[in-house]
Amino acid sequence: MNNLHVGSCLCGGVNYEISGDFERFYLCHCPRCRKDTGSAHSANLFSTTARLVWLTGQDRVKTYQLPTTRHQRSFCRDCGSALPDLQMEGALLVVPAGSLDGAAPIEPNAHIFVASRANWDDDLESLPRCDGLPA
Ligand SMILES: [Zn+2]
Ligand SMILES: [Zn+2]
């Protein structure tokens, strides 16, 4: 099994490589994740053993921690894309699934904080599916 994962931000200024495995993949619908993604939920992979190496652009990575909370995210200072983040004094690697350049190595485990979901976040699977822009 290939356990080397590469990823990057939208502008391409930041590239990273992660070696190792992920233990969990959660879709978090909490108000903080909705605010900082601008979407219905975050989609983060978690690992306590994988190693992160910044290949390019480490100086462009900014980290924001919401004061008095553990909510933290890293992002490209130029394009704002979500990027991997080390939390709990480096013990926990959090990787936004959308920042990976390839397929996610595991499937999501659960939707979490569903009680806090947006008022439009119900039965989204039943909406029409268009391969591109709607006709
Ligand atoms: Zn960028
Ligand atoms: Zn959350």
Instruction: Please report the pLDDT score of residue 51 as a whole number.
Output: 97
Q: Which ligand is nearest to the CA of 70?
A: 2
Q: Are 18 and 5 in contact (CB under 8 A)?
A: yes
Q: Of 18, 16, 11, which is closest to residue 76 (Cα–Cα)?
A: 11
DSSP string, 42-59: EEEEEESS-EEEEEE-GG
| CA quadruple 10, 114, 71, 35: dihedral sign | positive
Q: Which residues does the chain have with pLDDT short of 50?
A: none
Q: How far is the CA of 5 from the centre of ligand 2 (A)?
A: 23
Instruction: Please report the pLDDT score of residue 2 as a whole number.
Output: 63
Taking only the tens place, the pLDDT of each residue in 35-53 is: 999 999 999 999 999 999 9
Report the CATH architecture of 4-118: Beta Complex (2.170)
Q: Which ligand is nearest to the CA of 29?
A: 2
Instruction: Please report the pLDDT score of residue 135 as a whole number.
Output: 84
Q: Which ligand is nearest to the CA of 31?
A: 2
Token representation of residue 2:
């290939």
